[in-house]
Amino acid sequence: MPIVPLHVNVYLPPQPTPRRCHDWGRALGEILRARPERIALMASGGMSHFPGTDRYASPEFEYDRRLLETLKAGHGRELAAITGEELDKMGNIELRTWATVLGAVGDAKADVYCYEPSWHHGNAVVEWPV
Amino acid sequence: MSGEPHYRFPPASAYRLNRCLFALKSDDAFRARFIKDAHAAKGELGLDAEDAAALLRGDRDALVARGAHPYLVFMADLRLRMEREPVSFEFF
């Protein structure tokens, strides 16, 4: 199966807004749906929480868990409405990659296979079967 | 850091410092030279004395205050630790 890895600038300003990421993902989804084969979109990164800063040992795990519940309910488009400032505040600036794939999968409900916090990261594996 | 974004665009004055951190993160040969002889390796990239001192101390706050991008500081340090103490990867 062809895999399309998504790369988004998340660490070097000016980063794209989550809205722009979502819009790009939606456009990408339209292009890929026009193709005959099944294709996997892969969005890595996300819940890394402040690497390289003095907040690295203070991850916002509850924010992650609330977000995963939102995605399980099929409300992923809410991520597009989050501002870049909020992502930065919660240490989740890498979620721009998730916002991108969410644009492509629309309102599909996420299968959350796991969420494992470490002392600084939340590690999740999520699939949107569409 | 309240009110300020955690990741800012680095100032041009920190170009050499960030280039060095990027090389430590991504350039295996440079990282190996740095581990073997840090003083000689930092000289390759023309770091000034204060940048070099902060780098050699591994002083994150000083590096960031001098314009280093926090993510590069983090990744450079991680790659150095992984190479010096391979077991550190287990705690990443």
Write down the pLDDT at residue B89. Answer: 60
CB A12 to CB B7 under 8 A?
yes
Nearest beta carbon to residue B9 from set A13, A51, A56: A13
Pick the CATH number of A3-127 from 3.30.390.50, 3.30.360.10, 3.40.830.10, 2.40.128.110: 3.40.830.10
How is chain A classified by DSSP, letter by letter? --EEE-----SSSSPPPHHHHHHHHHHHHHHHHTSSS--EEE--------TTSTTTT---HHHHHHHHHHHHTT-GGGGGGS-HHHHHHTT-GGGHHHHHHHHHHTTPPPEEEEEEE-SS-EEEEEE---
Q: Please enumerate residues of A whose Cβ is less than 8 A from a Cβ of B.
A: 11-14, 50-56, 85, 88, 91, 93
Nearest beta carbon to residue A93 from set B7, B64, B73: B7
pLDDT bucket at B1, cuts 50 / 70 / 90: very low
Taking the CA of residue B9 and the nearest CA in chain A, the distance in Å comes to 5
- State which residue of chain A sits closest to B58, comparing Cα positions: A52
Where do the domains of chain A lie?
A: 3-127
- State which residue of chain A sits closest to B6, comparing Cα positions: A88
* Structural domain range at position B17: 13-91
Total count of domains within chain B:
1
B4 falls within a domain: no
pLDDT bucket at B73, cuts 50 / 70 / 90: very high
The Cα B74–Cα B82 span in angstroms is 12
Q: Please enumerate residues of B whose Cβ is less than 8 A from a Cβ of A.
A: 1, 5-9, 60-61, 64, 69-75
pLDDT tens per residue across span B10-57: 999 999 999 999 999 999 999 999 999 988 888 888 899 999 999 999
Arithmetic mean of pLDDT, B67-81: 94
Write down the pLDDT at residue A54. Answer: 86
pLDDT tens per residue across span A67-120: 999 999 999 989 999 999 999 998 899 999 999 999 999 999 999 999 998 888
B74 falls within a domain: yes
3-class DSSP assignment, residue B59: coil
CB A12, CB B9: distance < 8 Å: yes
pLDDT bucket at A11, cuts 50 / 70 / 90: very high
pLDDT bucket at B84, cuts 50 / 70 / 90: confident
Instruction: Report ipTM (2 d.p.).
Output: 0.83
The residue with greater pLDDT, A59 or B73, is B73
Write down the pLDDT at residue B41. Answer: 85
Q: Which amino acid is present at B77?
A: D
| pLDDT at A9 > cutoff 80 | yes
CB B75 to CB A52 under 8 A?
yes
pLDDT tens per residue across span A27-79: 999 999 999 999 999 998 888 888 888 888 888 899 999 999 999 999 998 99
